Structure 1
Amino acid sequence: MLKLSIPFIFFVFLSCIVGNAQKDTLGEKAYNMEKLTIDSLLTKYVFSSSNGLKMPYRLFSPNNEAQTKIPLVVFLHGRGDRGVDNDSKIYHEAGIIINSNSLLGNTMQSQYPCHILIPQCSDKTENEEWAKWIGNSPETPFKGLGTDGTYKMSTEPSESGAAALELIEQTIKDKNIDTDRVYIIGLSMGGFGTWEFTARKPHLFAGAIPMAGYSDPDQLEKIKHISFWIFHGDMDKWNPVAGSRTMFKLLSNSNADVRYTEYTNTGHRESFKKAFNEAELIPWLFSKKRKMNSSQEKL
């Protein structure tokens, strides 16, 4: 089990009190130390995928991995964090990493031991995203996105999407992962990716948390066996809330295991900040186990 020092726990707690913006000396030192400690726990790697893309990623694994298999949590960042630098921006909005209930902490690891995988999406072309939809090209990166928050998924994934899915499968092979408890969380562009990854590899995931993303309703039959908790703000100016409402309705009508939280008077980024502070979020996620459609086989 991971053993974190008392100073780390203190700094996480202290930063929640003083906030990022406080300028007194002790607050600044505590905040900077917390960032350094968190960053050191997320080991940097580069994955060479079969499509030729070299994908930077971070991986957290408990220092003393248990003999029993443990879950894998995948986090997909937003569009502004694409690149190849593999720095802290790829997790800076991930509440499962940075808030007071961080899964890196001693207490949370004792309750919810897990590996955490954070890939970084490429920015080599303007249209490179976790998702790939009809109309999406370097010349027309946003063509095909409907005002209703939906799109039509392309037959082939994006290079980054394909590489990330391959990386997830490789991590499952390499680590002591409970294949019935693989979870995915994504915000904004990562919300797109969460919907899309579950549709492209529906046998992989037990639970999914898409936050403030677009989706393809035509993928319903592939994903309705997966547990979803959907989040969106009703005043989102970037990704229309209508898409999340549609998916919730379709999944509900299919008797799927689905929850939906829509925040009133809430914009884009504020919605996932609120979502990560939901007290039930982590217990809900870790309670889920993989279910299979009749046409699918377990790994």
Structure 2
Amino acid sequence: MLSIPDDYNQKANMDYPLVLFLHGMGERGSDLNAVKANGLPKLAEEQNFPFILVSPQCPLGVERYSTWLLHIDSIYALLEDLITQYRVDEDRIYVTGLSMGGYGTWEIAKQHPEKFAAMAPICGGGSVEHLERLKDVPVWAFHGAKDDVVPMEESQVMVEALRSAGGNVKLTIYPEATHDSWTETYNDPAFYTWLLNQKRAKGRIIK
């Protein structure tokens, strides 16, 4: 699913930031309308974002075991294809996602740290292996303190490990939030201000 800024065709000489959004487990399948259930694709139905928004859908897979972690290469290939087709500012490419997409956010950024200007995983987690590769990628993570689906500790472990590796990382905990810590995050103008102000660090070369 792709959302383009309203002024895209009016500013032919302008490159746009690109945000990659990874949905949660409940939106897997082959019905693209399901991707609009939560997060940025849902909001894009109601407002115009000043960035290109790409929201791929994770296939359901055999026996329902499919997650973003199995499709990192496909996501990256999609991103590369979009860069060739649209006017993308390659110093302002971002990734964010919620729940299963939060795990995917950590993983794709870890595998391709040279590509992203910043990342924002929400109620996610992952493996701390090779996390030092993200030390030059600004990270803002979010989690609900009362999350009964993905424990808050999942984000805390990632954040502390990256901080120990010298990373530029911060974690926002919503004291009363359960699993839905994305609504408050994506409704906060400060989130977009922070995200869109990040630029790829000099010296990080796109591979």
TM-score normalized by the length of structure 2 = 0.89
Q: Equivalents in 2 of 1:194, 1:94: separation in Å?
A: 14
Report if the CA contact (8 A) 1:73-1:184 is conserved. Answer: yes
Aligned residue in 2 for 1:220: 131
> CA separation of 1:284/1:97 partners in 2, compared to 1, >3 Å: closer, same or farther?
farther
Aligned residue in 1 for 2:53: 116
Instruction: Describe the SS at the equivalent of 1:268.
Output: coil
Q: Equivalents in 2 of 1:279, 1:288: separation in Å?
A: 15
Counterpart amino acid of 1:227? P
CA RMSD of aligned residues (A): 2.0
Q: Equivalents in 1 of 2:4, 2:81: separation in Å?
A: 15
Aligned residue in 1 for 2:35: 90
Among 67, 74, 85, the residue aligned to 1:129: 67
> CA separation of 1:183/1:169 partners in 2, compared to 1, >3 Å: closer, same or farther?
same
Counterpart amino acid of 2:160? K
Aligned residue in 2 for 1:281: 191
Instruction: Describe the SS at the equivalent of 2:37.
Output: coil
> Can you list the C-alpha shifts for 1:47-90, whole angstroms capped at 9, x where unaligned?
xxxxxxxxxxx111234153121110111110010011111x20
Among 228, 231, 240, the residue aligned to 2:142: 231
TM alignment of 1:246-285, pairs within 5 A: 246-269=157-180, 271-285=181-195
TM alignment of 1:147-226, pairs within 5 A: 158=70, 160-226=71-137
> CA separation of 1:171/1:264 partners in 2, compared to 1, >3 Å: closer, same or farther?
same
Instruction: Describe the SS at the equivalent of 2:119.
Output: strand
Report if the CA contact (8 A) 1:96-1:276 is conserved. Answer: no
Structure with bigger RCO (C-alpha 8 Å, 6+ apart)? 2
TM alignment of 1:59-70, pairs within 5 A: 59-62=2-5, 63-64=8-9, 66=11, 67-70=13-16
Among 74, 78, 93, the residue aligned to 2:24: 78
> Can you list the C-alpha shifts for 1:229-285, whole angstroms capped at 9, x where unaligned?
10011111111211211222222233322221011132112x112222223100000
Q: Equivalents in 2 of 1:285, 1:232: separation in Å?
A: 17
Unaligned ranges ≥5, structure 2: none
Q: Equivalents in 2 of 1:285, 1:229: separation in Å?
A: 9
Report if the CA contact (8 A) 2:18-2:94 is conserved. Answer: yes
Report the CA distance between 1:99 and its aligned residue. 7.8
* Runs of 4+ residues over 4 Å off in structure 1: none
Q: Equivalents in 1 of 2:4, 2:40: separation in Å?
A: 18
Counterpart amino acid of 2:68? W
TM-score normalized by the length of structure 1 = 0.63
How many equivalent residue pairs?
A: 203
Aligned residue in 2 for 1:135: none
Counterpart amino acid of 2:88? I
Q: Equivalents in 2 of 1:60, 1:263: separation in Å?
A: 29
Report if the CA contact (8 A) 2:3-2:44 is conserved. Answer: no
**Identity percentage of aligned residues:** 31
Q: Equivalents in 2 of 1:162, 1:65: separation in Å?
A: 33
Q: Equivalents in 2 of 1:206, 1:284: separation in Å?
A: 11
